[in-house]
């Protein structure tokens, strides 16, 4: 299967809008890998990437990834072949990413924590042909990849980051000119509306949805973000949340390389990450809510002297946190999602707007509507409603999900985010504030856990008659999943038994419930739906009572 077999499963941007985005320059005709090459021609000797294990200039990164692309072609991977990524923030991850793009392959941005429940489904859905996994992690992803490939209808190639048959040595024997010719031959065949990357959605129903991002817009999404923050080739930008997330690829990898900046890529462990950042004279960083606490410890002091801009994202920002990173320098916020739309607080926004809102959209043609949930009725400024958006890099539809797309978009193509938001005015300018969400998920330190998906998995256990999963507040991660359970025959399973059940179904660990409450029955609304509002209030009360006791 390749790109040409996806007809009918992809939703194109309406021709009129596509034409407008081309005319405004917000869409590009250059394939994504070609954009890195353009940067390499401009910024050749500058440092493109610093990790704990390696450093690359733009020229080195460009040449190595040409060779890797050519090596992918040599083993028989073909343009349009999807490749599953299960990796962490390593230099070789960056090589593999750009190598795939330059070979016309389509990276599928799954997580190293995903297991058979997720990878088995997604890899079949997209017809994955390759699997890139990191060797040497506590879970043996290499063995796992072999299990995935066993009996898989399309999977044929396994590559590793680290370990044997590693990406690090791939294509080293291919002369750079030959590799460049190969990449150019691929790019000559690439249409700007071809899929560049598959991202995954946290989803609002059962299974994760696949998000197709196309060449015309994906790199530019990142470029607009870099411009909004005033980055130049003199910026040194750190990233310590998983780079494979859309936020990692767009706000870190592509955004730095779009403007000739240096990317300092660290793993999420705050201690070593802050040390690497301090050694590398980092000027800019995106902090997800999984690191809000770490930033407020003295370990972050070493990073402060060179730091100019800190962007906070993912959860409400406390005044103490804001002051910690704004005093003597600039702090702001961003809102972003794999489906597209990014907002950032502008550099010249007053501190009050930067402390309490996520700012304004980053592209000229971005459109936002705040609507009365469940309707198409627009609400006036100041009122809280569902954030809906449309624009040059917000998808017009999920991959192979026609029924879901009907509900996920308004009749005129605005994506219903499931987030609640309102416009607020500061000094005569409008800024958007995120006020909550209506979608039923748990945001565990940035990893989205779909409540319905977990409920269905729990109910596969014969001892569980019904299940409702809600977010329990958590100081470090923001939220963790709490399951309210009704026993089928009076026997209440232990946490260990629940964990064994989730493990036996091959479910990623970050989705496992971390708190159980057994109840005789689930509370219902007067229309018979599970009353999640009362369950949320109940778990908040439980957490508060525990905190008061400790
Ligand atoms: P993802 O597609 O995994 O990047 O997740 C996107 C979702 O993360 C959004 O729809 C929001 O629910 C949430 N999100 C992203 N940025 C923020 C933010 N600044 N504040 C609150 N929630 C956010």
Alpha-carbon span 48 to 67, nearest angstrom: 17
Q: How far lies 482's CA from each of 305, 449, 458, 497, in Å?
A: 40, 11, 12, 15
**Element spanning 466, H or E:** strand 464-474
Q: Using the mean position of ligand 1's atoms as its centre, give its distance from the Cα of residue 199 in Å.
A: 14
Q: How far lies 98's CA from each of 103, 159, 232, 391, in Å?
A: 8, 14, 21, 26
Q: How are beta strands 330-337 and 55-57 bridged, if at all?
A: unpaired
The pair of three-digit structure tokens given for residue 11, joined into one six-digit string: 């939703």
Mean pLDDT of the chain: 96
Q: Using the mean position of ligand 1's atoms as its centre, give its distance from the Cα of residue 217 in Å.
A: 20
Alpha-carbon span 106 to 126, nearest angstrom: 10
> Nearest 5°: phi and psi at 29?
-95, -10
Tens of pLDDT, residue by residue over 115-147, are 999 999 999 999 999 999 999 999 999 999 999
Q: Using the mean position of ligand 1's atoms as its centre, give its distance from the Cα of residue 434 in Å.
A: 9
The pair of three-digit structure tokens given for residue 115, joined into one six-digit string: 């297991």
State which ligand 1 atom lies nearest to the alpha carbon of 419: 12
Pocket of ligand 1 (CB under 6 A): 202, 246-247, 313-315, 333, 335-338, 358, 417, 419, 434, 437, 448
Task: Return the pLDDT at 203.
Answer: 63
Name beta bridge partners: 361. 343
- Nearest residue (by CA) to ligand 1, atom 11, is 419
State which ligand 1 atom lies nearest to the alpha carbon of 448: 3
Closest CA to 337 of 476, 479, 198, 200: 200
Q: How are beta strands 157-161 and 210-214 bridged, if at all?
A: unpaired
State which ligand 1 atom lies nearest to the alpha carbon of 339: 2
Name beta bridge partners: 332. 311
What are the chain's domains?
6-338 (3.40.50.12780), 441-549 (3.30.300.30)
Q: Are 127 and 5 in contact (CB under 8 A)?
A: yes
pLDDT band for position 202 (cuts 50, 70, 90): confident
Q: Using the mean position of ligand 1's atoms as its centre, give its distance from the Cα of residue 314 in Å.
A: 5
Q: Using N-to-C axis directions, what is the helix angle for 32-43 and 58-74, rounded to 10°? A: 150
Alpha-carbon span 413 to 105, nearest angstrom: 28
Task: Return the pLDDT at 148.
Answer: 98
| Other residues' Cβ atoms within 10 Å of the Cβ of residue 14 | 12
Tens of pLDDT, residue by residue over 293-323, are 999 999 999 999 999 999 999 888 999 999 9
Task: Return the pLDDT at 394.
Answer: 98
Alpha-carbon span 405 to 398, nearest angstrom: 6
* Virtual torsion, Cα 235, 241, 242, 245, nearest 10 deg: -80
Tens of pLDDT, residue by residue over 349-376, are 999 999 999 999 999 999 999 999 999 9
Would you mind telling me the total number of residues written for the chain in this entry? 550
pLDDT at 6 over 80: no
Q: How are beta strands 429-437 and 236-239 bridged, if at all?
A: unpaired
Task: Return the pLDDT at 208.
Answer: 81
Mean pLDDT of 152-162: 96
Determine which of 42-51, 197-206, 350-359, 528-537 has the lowest per-residue pLDDT on average. 197-206
Helices (H), 416-526: 451-458, 495-504
State which ligand 1 atom lies nearest to the alpha carbon of 338: 2
pLDDT at 5 over 90: no
Tens of pLDDT, residue by residue over 403-426, are 999 999 999 999 999 999 999 999
Torsion sign, CA atoms 531, 532, 535, 540: negative
**Over the range 98-110, which residues count as b (16 or more CB within 10 Å of their CB) and which as e?**
bbbbbbbbbbbbb
Q: Using the mean position of ligand 1's atoms as its centre, give its distance from the Cα of residue 335 in Å.
A: 6
> First CA to last CA across the chain, in angstroms?
56
Residue 337, SS3?
strand
State which ligand 1 atom lies nearest to the alpha carbon of 333: 19
pLDDT band for position 207 (cuts 50, 70, 90): confident
Q: What percent of the chain has pLDDT over 70?
A: 98
Q: How are beta strands 385-390 and 429-437 bridged, if at all?
A: unpaired
Alpha-carbon span 421 to 467, nearest angstrom: 29
Alpha-carbon span 550 to 128, nearest angstrom: 49
Residue 313, SS3?
strand
pLDDT at 14 over 70: yes
pLDDT at 2 over 50: no
Q: Can you point out the beta strands (E) in 303-345?
A: 309-313, 330-337, 340-344
Mean pLDDT of 92-107: 98
Task: Return the pLDDT at 1.
Answer: 42
């Amino acid at each position: 299967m390749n790109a040409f077999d996806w007809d009918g499963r992809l939703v194109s941007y309406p021709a009129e809008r596509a034409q407008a985005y081309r005319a405004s320059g917000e869409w590009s005709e250059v394939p994504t890998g070609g954009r890195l090459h353009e940067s390499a021609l401009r910024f050749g000797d500058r440092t493109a990437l610093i990790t704990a294990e390696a450093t690359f200039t733009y020229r080195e990164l460009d040449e190595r990834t040409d060779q890797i692309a050519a090596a992918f072609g040599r083993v028989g991977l073909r343009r349009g072949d999807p490749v599953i990524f299960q990796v962490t923030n390593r230099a070789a991850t960056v090589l593999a990413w750009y190598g795939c793009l330059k070979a016309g392959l389509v990276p599928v941005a799954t997580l190293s924590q995903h297991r058979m429940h997720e990878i088995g489904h997604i890899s079949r859905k997209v017809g994955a042909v390759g699997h890139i996994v990191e060797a040497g992690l506590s879970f043996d992803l290499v063995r796992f990849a072999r299990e995935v490939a066993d009996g898989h209808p399309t999977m044929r190639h396994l590559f590793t980051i680290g370990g044997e048959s590693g990406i690090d040595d791939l294509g080293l024997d291919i002369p750079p000119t030959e590799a460049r010719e190969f990449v150019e031959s691929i790019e000559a065949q690439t249409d700007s509306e071809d899929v560049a990357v598959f991202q995954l959605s946290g989803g609002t129903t059962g299974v994760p949805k696949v998000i197709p991002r196309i060449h015309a817009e994906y790199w530019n999404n990142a470029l607009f973000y870099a411009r909004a923050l005033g980055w130049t080739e003199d910026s040194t930008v750190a990233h310590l949340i998983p780079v494979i997330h859309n936020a990692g690829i767009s706000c870190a990898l592509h955004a730095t390389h779009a403007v000739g900046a240096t990317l300092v890529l660290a793993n999420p462990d705050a201690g070593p990450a802050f040390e690497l950042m301090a050694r590398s004279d980092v000027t800019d960083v995106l902090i997800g809510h999984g690191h809000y606490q770490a930033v407020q410890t003295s370990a972050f002091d070493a990073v402060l002297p060179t730091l100019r801009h800190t962007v906070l994202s993912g959860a409400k920002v406390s005044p103490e946190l804001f002051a910690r990173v704004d005093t003597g320098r600039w702090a702001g916020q961003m809102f972003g999602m794999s489906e597209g739309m990014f907002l950032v607080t502008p550099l010249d926004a007053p501190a009050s707007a930067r402390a309490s809102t996520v700012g304004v959209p980053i592209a000229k043609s971005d459109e936002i509507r705040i609507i009365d949930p469940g309707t198409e009725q627009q609400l006036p400024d100041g009122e809280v409603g569902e954030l809906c958006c449309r624009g040059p890099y917000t998808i017009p539809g999920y991959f192979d999900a026609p029924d879901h797309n009907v509900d996920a978009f308004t009749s005129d193509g605005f994506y219903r985010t499931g987030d609640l938001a309102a416009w607020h005015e500061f000094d005569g300018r409008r800024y958007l504030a995120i006020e909550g969400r209506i979608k039923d998920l748990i945001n565990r330190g940035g990893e989205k856990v779909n409540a319905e998906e977990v409920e269905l998995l729990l109910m596969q256990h014969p001892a569980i008659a019904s299940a409702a999963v809600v977010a329990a507040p958590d100081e470090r991660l923001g939220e963790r999943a709490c399951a309210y359970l009704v026993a089928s025959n009076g026997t209440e399973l232990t946490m260990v038994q629940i964990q064994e059940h989730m493990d036996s179904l091959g479910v990623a660990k970050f989705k496992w419930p971390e708190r159980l409450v057994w109840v005789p029955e689930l509370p219902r609304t007067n229309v018979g739906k599970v009353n999640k509002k009362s369950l949320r209030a109940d778990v908040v009360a439980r957490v508060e009572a525990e905190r008061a006791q400790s």
